Each structure stands twice: as C-alpha cells, then as structure tokens.
Structure 1
Amino acid sequence: MNIPDRIYAQYRDKPKAVAWYAIARAFGGSIEAAAQAVRKSYDIDTAVGEQLNVIGRIVVAPRSFVGAMPMNPGLFDLTDGDEFGDDEAMFSALTIDQDGQLSDDLYRLVIKAKIVKNNGDATIENILDGMNFLLPKANVLRVTDGEDMSFSIEFYGQITNLERFALLNAGLVPKPQAVRFNGFLEGFDMVEFGDADAEFGDEDAEFVGYIGD
C-alpha cells in the first residue's frame, strides 16, 4: 500500500499533506539504512583498513606486532675478507626486533581467533568449534591428546596458504594455559577401504595423504 492510499480522500491531491505523511516512511528508510551500515561495519570478512582496526580494538587484538629478524654474520675464515687470525672462529647468530603491521587478510584470522579465545573454555569441543570457525572450508575431525600436556589437530579439506601459515606462526589455535600445541595433520585425497571402488576387506581402514607439522 502506497502513501496516497493511507491518506483521507480530501487530502490525496494536496502535495504538502502527501509529503507530511511520507515523512515517517522516509525517516524509517534512513534509520534502516543506518542500521544496516552499522551491522555490516562489524562484518569481519568485508571490513578493511580502519574498520578492521576498530574491530581489533573491541576484541583487544592489535594489528601491530614485534617480530625477531635473523641476522647472518660472516664467518671469520671466509676467503672474501672476514679472516681475523682464527680459522675456526665465527660470529654467533644474531637477531634484531622489528615492528610491523599485519595485512588485512591475516588480521581477519587474528581477530577471529581472538573472538574464539575470548568466548571459549578451551575444552576439546571448544577447540573443534573454534577451528571450524577459523577454517570454514576445512573439516576439523579430531584433537589428538599427546598425554603430556600437549595436543595436535587433524583436519581435512582445503585451506589457503595464508591460513596454513597462520596456524603455525600466529598462535591462532585456542588452547588451555600451559598446554603446548604440537601442530596439525592436514589430510587430503582420502580413499576409504570400504568405498565401492576401493574395497580391500576392511571397511574401517582408509588411505589418506597428509601434510603435517
């Protein structure tokens, strides 16, 4: 039903009356647009730049970081000018600290991981739910308890190189305090023995390739 249908017949041809009755609908549309903008502004998958920074501040996950950078000093006995009278001596490995900023893609994973950690209790079920949230295209199958205050994660499916890097380097995996994360086993091209095309007498066994760390 449009605006004129809601107005008394004697006012339907009066432009000012029609405009006055349309005020509520116009304001309602503006309020809806503003509400949609606010809702979408906190969409981690679409936010960029400063929008991500705002979300990061809310969940207490800063974009900046300080990382160690290895230095490669020359050996004393090199033939190109580093000799100082001792053929066996060499400089020890050095590192320096350097600050930087996370890219938007990596920062999104960090924010999601922080949300999982902020709202989880680090049980096995919570770890599985958190990993499925972080890696939506992967199927996290199990958490393996190392029985020495450590655990590893096994999953199947496709993940990006960035997600794989983040799992190992950005501390994204939710875990209890004082428990060590040993790494992950990424399975691919699984062929179960019980498949119609690949039966070998054991319906429970399976072949699988894996990437692990």
Structure 2
Amino acid sequence: MAELTDYNALITSEHSDKPRFMATIAALVQPLVDQMNVLESMPGKFDLDNAVGVQLDDVGLWVGVSRRIRTPLTGIYFSFDIDGLGFGQGIWKGPFDPGTGLTVLDDDTYRLVIRAKIGANHWDGTLEQSVAILNSIFDADTHVFIEDHQDMSMTIGISGKVPSAVFLALLAGGYIPLKPEGVRVNYTIVTTVDGAPMFGFDMAGPYVSGFDVGAWGKPV
C-alpha cells in the first residue's frame, strides 16, 4: 500500500525542512496516493473468494450466470419441524423474500453457483469431469456420483454430508449446467441420513453401501 512518506522521503534536504513547502506537497500528493491505493484494492474486491454484493454480481455477469432465479426455489426456507430444513440445511426467509419461494441467491450460494459455472465453461463434456467439478464445489464430505443409463439420460446421486436445501434445489432445477447437451437428468437422489452412503446390494464404499451402513436415497 502506498504511503505519503514514500514520496516525501524523495524531497531533498534543501526543501524538506520547510513546513509550508512540505504541507503543499502533502496536499497535492495525498489525493494521488489515495487513488493509487483504491486502484490497487480493486482486484481484491472482485476476487471470487472475497467479492460480495454488486462486486459478486459483476463476477457472475462475466462468468455468465445471474443471481436471480428464473423459477422460485420452493421448500428451502428454515423450519424446525420439517426434515431437511433444519439448522445448516434450510435458509432463513428474508424480510423481502416472497413466501412462494426464493428468487434471489445470497452471496454464499451465488458464489458456489459461479464456481460451478466456471467449471462448466471449461468442461470437456465427459461425465468423469462433471463429477470432478461437482465434487470441487461441494463440501469434502459430500460425494457426488453419476449413473449413465446409456439412453441419453443419467441419474445424479449424492451421499455423505447432505448439502443445503438451496443447493439441492438448484441442482435439481438444472441451474448447475453439468450434463452433455441433449442428455436429461432422470433423478437427483440424495441420502436420507446425513453423512451416510446410499444403500445398494453387495456394495461397500463412500458412495453406496449395503445393509447396516447404506441409507435409502430420496429424489430431490
């Protein structure tokens, strides 16, 4: 960060002991120093990890995804007595959010969507890389896998730590564009037990496991 002293130190001894001269230089140079510091801070304001508000909106515009949702996301507001919408899953309804559903994403959720869009922009079209991109935006304890049905359709499975209700709704609504063109997503299935793999006969792993370990999956 630039400081006024960086430039005052360049003044020769012949003039540096003149208070009025130094005050004049300070009055002229300080605004330039302030402008330099503002310009130097601009890249950080638009860094995806730090950007908020309108700066994050601009990042999304560059990437190609909006904060506003085409169709309201329903069933995502926090509730004590509804499974899947408790602490860490449902989101608080803001004072200006419509009761019919969420239409504007908060900064943290929007940041995840932007990361997914960046991945989609660099995607090579393979299912392998789509899984890698999805895993990069989810929590490390959340495991995403895709089943290709070989009929231009696929199923997305999510095991381990259950993502927030908002992110599940975004994924089910097609706002995370990580599928080949023309391929439809039949189901997005998530484990019913937070932290557990989904149930599958004669299997054992972090994604799918058998009796006593795996949990039933439910469509989002």
- 2:70 and 2:103 in contact (8 A); partners too: yes
Corresponding position: 1:174 with 2:175 = no
Cα distance in 2 for partners of 1:119, 1:25 equals: 44
Q: Could you list the per-position Cα deviations for residues 17-49 of structure 1 after superposition, in whole angstroms to 9, with x for gaps in the alignment?
A: 47638966763553232342354246477433x
Cα pair 2:48 2:111 within 8 Å, conserved = no
SS in 2 for 1:162: helix
Hey, what does 2:161 align to over in structure 1?
Answer: 157
SS at match of 1:102: strand
| Rg (Cα) greater in structure | 1
TM-score (norm 2): 0.55
Residues of 1 paired with 2:141 and 2:205: CA distance? Answer: 24
Matched, 1:121 2:124: yes
Of residues 184, 189, 204 in structure 2, which corresponds to 1:184?
189
Gaps of 5+ in 1: 68-99, 192-201
Contact preservation (8 Å) 1:59, 1:114? yes
Gaps of 5+ in 2: 73-100, 198-203
- The 3-state SS of whatever aligns with 1:127 is helix
C-alpha distance in structure 2 between counterparts of 1:176 and 1:43, whole Å = 26
Correspondences of 1:13-24 after superposition (within 5 Å): 13-15=17-19, 16-17=21-22, 20=25
Q: 1:9 aligns with which of 9, 13, 18?
A: 13
Residue 209 of structure 1: aligned partner: 215
SS state of the match for residue 35, structure 2? Answer: helix
Say yes or no: does 1:103 pair with 2:104.
yes
Pair 170,104 (structure 1): closer, same or farther in 2 beyond 3 Å: same
Count of residues paired in the alignment: 170
Partner of 2:41: 36
Which among 125, 140, 147 is matched to residue 144 of structure 1?
147
TM-score with structure 1 length normalisation? 0.57
Structure 1 23/38 Cα, relative in aligned 2: closer, same or farther at 3 Å?
farther
Query: Is it true that 1:57 corresponds to 2:61 in the alignment?
Result: yes
Note if contact 1:138-1:159 (Cα within 8 Å) is conserved in structure 2.
Answer: no
Tell me which amino acid in the other structure corresponds to 1:27.
L
Instruction: Indicate the structure with greater strand content.
Output: 1
Q: Counterpart of 2:194 in 1: which secondary structure?
A: strand
